[in-house]
Amino acid sequence: MENDAGRFNMNREGWLEMTHIKETLYAHSKVAEKKEELVKEFISITKSQDYINNIKPYKEELAKSCIRSSLRFSSKAMEFTKLLVEDILKTKLEYSKYYVTLPYILFHLPNDKTEQSGIHTDRRKECKNSITVWTPINTFKNTYPPISIFPKSHSLLAYLGQKLVKKIFPNLNQEGVMKKIGIRRLDVYPSISSTYIWDAELSHMGNLNSSENYHCALVIKITEKPLYLEPSVKCKDLIQRTNLKFIEFNFIDMYKNLTKHIENIEKMSLESLNIEEFISNVYDYRKLIDLETRRALSFTLSEVASRCPNQPSSNYFDLASYMVEKGNIMGLERHLRKCTDKKVVLRVFNKLSKFEKFNTYQEFTLFNKLKQRFKVDAINLRRTSIVHGW
C-alpha cells in the first residue's frame, strides 16, 4: 500500500496498482492458498466418473460455482476484504461513507471462453461514483494478462472524443476508436501480491486464459450509493466489524448438494403447469434447505442462468435464485427484463408478493425501475407490498 496519499490518485490514468504489505499481504496469501486447495478438489470432481457421465450442460458452471461460493463466503476472503478496505480508506477517507459489496470471485479455467468479456466499463447509474477493486488470487504469477485496461478512457474528454471518432469512422471497432484519440490498451500481468483499482468509468476487458493454470480473482465494488443488485455494507461499518459472518463449506458435500437442488429445481420448472405453480413449488422446497446452502444455491442458480442462457430452464433458474435467498437480485432483474409482456410481469409479482414483503432497498430500486420501464404506477411500494393491476 502506498503511504503517500498523493499516490492514491486515479484522476489522470483512471487506475492504480496497490501493493500489499503487512497483514494484508499475509491475508492475501492465505486466500490464495485456500484457492489452490479448492482447485485440487475441483480437479478431483471433474475427473470422477459421476461428473464425466453427467450430461447436464451446466455441470461445469456448477462445479466452478462451488469454488467461487466456497471462497467468497470463507473467513479468509472476508478477512482479506476487510483489510483491503481498511487500506483503501487510510488514503482515501471519503470512501468511508461509501458502500462495499461482498467479495465476488472470478474463476477462469484454462481456455475458458465463458469468462472472456468484451471492452466495457463497470459504471452503474444508480451507484454514482464508484471504483472496482480487483485482486488476483493465485500462488503463481500469471503468464497471460487476465485483464486489459485503457488508461485515461474514463475522462469526459475521452468519452466525447470517442463519440466524435465513431461518427467519422462508423466501422471502426472500439479499440480502434480509442486508438484514434491516443488511448492504447494496457495488458495487465498482475503481481501476485497487488490489488488493481480502477474508476468505474474506465474501459477494460477480461481476457481468455491462454495458460495451463486455473486463475482466480476477487472483486469488490466501492460505490457512493449501494449497488442494488446485491447486498452491500458501508465501508466504515465493515472495518469496525469484529464478527464477520463466514461460511466454511465442505467442497465435495457442497457440490453434491447443489447438484441435487439444481436438478430438483430444473424438474420443477419442467413439470409446473404455469409460472405461479413454479413459484409456489420453489417456496415450498426452500423450507427444506438451510440458510448457508441457500446462499450458495442462490448465487449458483444465477451464475448458471447467466452463463448457460440457452438451456431451457435458465429463465426459471434466474427467478429461483431470488426466491431461494433474496440478497442477490441479479437473477430476478434478468428474469423480468426478458418479459416483454406486462401481464406476465404482473403475474410474477403478484405471486411473489404472497411470499415476500418487498421491503429491501434492492427490491425497492428494482421495482422503481420496472415502473419507469412500463410507464405504470401500479407498484405501490410504500403503502402495500401487493402489486396492483395496471
Name the minimum Å distance from CB 74 to Fe ion.
Answer: 23
Per CB under 5 A, which of residues 162..221 are in contact with Fe ion?
none
In the bound state with Fe ion, the residue whose beta carbon lies nearer, of 87 and 122, is 122
Nearest position to Fe ion, beta carbon = 122
In the bound state with Fe ion, the residue whose beta carbon lies nearer, of 204 and 261, is 204
Count of helices and strands (H, E) across the chain: 14, 10
Residue 136's DSSP bridge partners are: 217
Q: Which residue has the cell 483503501?
A: 88
In the bound state with Fe ion, the residue whose beta carbon lies nearer, of 60 and 199, is 199
C-alpha grid cell for residue 39? 482447485
Judged by CB under 5 A, the stretch of 114-122, 145-153, 260-268, 296-304 that binds Fe ion is: 114-122
Name the minimum Å distance from CB 374 to Fe ion.
Answer: 29
In the bound state with Fe ion, the residue whose beta carbon lies nearer, of 125 and 382, is 125
Name the minimum Å distance from CB 281 to Fe ion.
Answer: 35
Does residue 122 interact with Fe ion by CB under 5 A?
Answer: yes
Name the minimum Å distance from CB 122 to Fe ion.
Answer: 4
Interface mask toward Fe ion for 229-258; x: CB under 5 A: ------------------------------
Pairwise CA distance, residues 88 & 97, whole Å: 12
Name the minimum Å distance from CB 197 to Fe ion.
Answer: 12
Q: What is the DSSP string of 168-203?
A: H-TT--HHHHHHHTT---EEE---TTEEEEEETTS-
Q: Using H for helix, E for strand and C for coil, what is the string for 11-70? A: CCCCEEEEECCHHHHHHHHHHHHHHHHHHHHHHHHHHCHHHHHCCCCCHHHHHHHHHHHH
Note every long-range contact of 252-257, with CB atoms under 8 Å and residues 24 or more positions apart, other chains counting: 252/41, 252/45, 254/66, 254/69, 254/70, 254/293, 254/296, 255/45, 255/62, 255/63, 255/66, 257/293
Name the minimum Å distance from CB 127 to Fe ion.
Answer: 13
Per CB under 5 A, which of residues 364..383 are in contact with Fe ion?
none
Name the minimum Å distance from CB 224 to Fe ion.
Answer: 18
Interface mask toward Fe ion for 74-113; x: CB under 5 A: ----------------------------------------
Collapsing DSSP to helix, strand or coil, 85 comes out as helix
In the bound state with Fe ion, the residue whose beta carbon lies nearer, of 122 and 201, is 122
Total residues in contact with Fe ion, by rule CB under 5 A: 1
CA atoms within 13 A on the CB side of 385: 11
Taken as a whole, the chain contains a residue count of 390
C-alpha grid cell for residue 134? 480487483
Judged by CB under 5 A, the stretch of 119-127, 153-161, 271-279, 358-366 that binds Fe ion is: 119-127
Buried-exposed string 194-218: b where 16+ CB fall within 10 A, e elsewhere: bbbbbbbbbbbbbbebeeebbbbbb
Name the minimum Å distance from CB 158 to Fe ion.
Answer: 17
Name the minimum Å distance from CB 154 to Fe ion.
Answer: 13
Judged by CB under 5 A, the stretch of 117-125, 168-176, 233-241, 323-331 that binds Fe ion is: 117-125
Determine contact, residues 327/298, Cβ cutoff 8 Å. yes
In the bound state with Fe ion, the residue whose beta carbon lies nearer, of 122 and 199, is 122
* Beta carbons within 8 Å of 297's beta carbon, 6+ residues apart: 258, 261, 262, 289, 324, 325
In the bound state with Fe ion, the residue whose beta carbon lies nearer, of 115 and 122, is 122
In the bound state with Fe ion, the residue whose beta carbon lies nearer, of 117 and 384, is 117
Which residues of this protein are in contact with Fe ion, per CB under 5 A?
122
